[in-house]
Copies of this chain bind each other. A is one copy, B any other.
Amino acid sequence: MQSLISHIQQYCPIGKTALKSLAGALQKVELPKGAFLTTEGKTCNHVYFLEQGCLRGFYNLDGKDITYWFAFENNFVTSFFSFISRKPGVENIQLLEDCTLWAISYDELQHLYAKHTDIERLGRIMHERYYVMLEERFVANHFKEARERYENLATATPHILQRVPLGYIASYLGITQETLSRIRSKT
């Protein structure tokens, strides 16, 4: 849990009382590679802090899996649309490695928001941060060619290439596996 605490303190100072409540609400979850945190059609009731391992979010388009994000250590993950809107989502979240996570339920989180201003603030700041990350990624991909998107990825987050099968990376980049393979061979 220490990794979670230092992660959040990095963005927003949290008082001792709030921290204690937060710690009390968290549940340690350990799952094997291949397991799912949520699947299409379900309402996602938890947000997770990923302490160890990596995972992907994907959805189904015309029978194909489209991976649209990866998460690695020290990040919060959930099916945001579903978690926030309280409606069934279209996303699947699947572990790409054995993972250690800390889970907090929607109700507990709302309770913490109501009780601790520090945590409400943390929630806001985390959402700002995630919004900006998504926007940066959006801009990084918009109107660029596949080769350039791949090179950006390889430079910015080379660890993805080590830990994730190429097929998932291709769909993340919005291209087919064959095209990605060809891009890589001509480097």
Contact = CB atoms under 8 A, between A and B. Distances in A.
Interface of A: 59, 61, 64, 66, 68, 80-81, 84-85, 90, 113, 117, 120-121, 123-124, 127-132, 134-136, 138-139, 142-144, 171, 174
User: What is the copy number of this chain in the assembly?
Assistant: 2
A132 B85 contact: yes
Which one of A64, A113, A136 has the greatest number of beta carbons of chain B within 10 Å?
A113
Given A84-B129, A120-B120, A143-B174, 7 more contacts: A61-B143, A68-B138, A85-B132, A120-B124, A127-B127, A134-B134, A134-B135
Given A123-B124, A124-B127, A131-B131, A136 B66 contact: no
Given A66-B143, A120-B120, A136 B81 contact: yes
B113 A121 contact: yes
Shortest 9 CB-CB contacts between residues of A and residues of B = A127-B127, A124-B124, A131-B131, A84-B128, A123-B124, A81-B132, A120-B120, A66-B143, A134-B134
A143 to B, nearest CB: 5
Contacts of A127: 124, 127-128, 131
Given A66-B142, A142-B66, A142-B174, A132 B61 contact: no
B171 A132 contact: no
A34 B174 CA distance: 34
